[in-house]
Amino acid sequence: MPETTIFSDREIVFLGELNREGVDFMIVGLSAATLQGAPVVTRDVDLWFRDPSDPGIGRALRKVFGTYIPPSGEKPPRFAGEAVKLFAIVTRMHGLGTFEEESDRTVKVRLGRFKVRVLPLERIIVSKEAVGREKDRLVLPILKDALAVISESGQLE
């Protein structure tokens, strides 16, 4: 897979710190689709963690002057800070298996000197179909076309 980035330098530093800390995570949602070449845009980057309480997350956040905000009522957990404001914490993916089941399917995308794991385009499609929100239904034809083109070109790892 070619090197692609949708991130600022600060965001790449945070993802690199997560890697250095050994935090098991993957990028999911439309940002993962974008990293695989799909021509879509999104307002945030969804991170799915094997263990959201992994202490490595806190250490990575401190290195970029970010913080973790625990869930409160209906609000999910989230990050705060300039280097991490783009990132959203995902606690489950509709229509998919557990983190452990999906982690075996991830593809790797290079970001500078390291790689990040991303949910494959075909699994993003499955999840979008399962959720069924209007905004997901609208993007499905684009994701399916992108998957066909990328599959034909042999770009998937």
CATH 3.90.1420.10 fits 9-153, yes or no: no
Distance between CA atoms of residues 85 and 57, nearest Å: 15
What is the DSSP annotation of the chain? ------S-HHHHHHHHHHHHTT--EEEEHHHHHHHTT-----SSEEEEES-TT-HHHHHHHHHTT-EEE--BTTBPPEEESTTTTTEEEES--TTS--HHHHHTT-EEEEETTEEEEE--HHHHHHHHHHH--HHHHHHHHHHHHHHHHHHHHT---
pLDDT of residue 1: 44
Phi/psi of residue 146, each to 5°?
-60, -40
Q: What is the mean pLDDT of residues 14-27?
A: 97
Averaged pLDDT score across all residues of the chain: 91
Question: Regarding predicted confidence, which is higher, 49 or 91?
Answer: 49
Contact 83, 64 (CB under 8 A): yes
pLDDT of residue 68: 95
Q: What is the mean pLDDT of residues 78-96?
A: 94
pLDDT of residue 64: 96
Share of the chain above pLDDT 90, in %: 77
Q: What is the mean pLDDT of residues 57-81?
A: 94
pLDDT at residue 4 above 70?
no
Nearest partner of 116 among 150, 87, 153, 147, judged by Cα: 87
Q: What is the mean pLDDT of residues 139-150?
A: 94
Q: What is the pTM of this model?
A: 0.90
pLDDT band at 2 (very low <50, low <70, confident <90, very high): very low
pLDDT of residue 156: 55
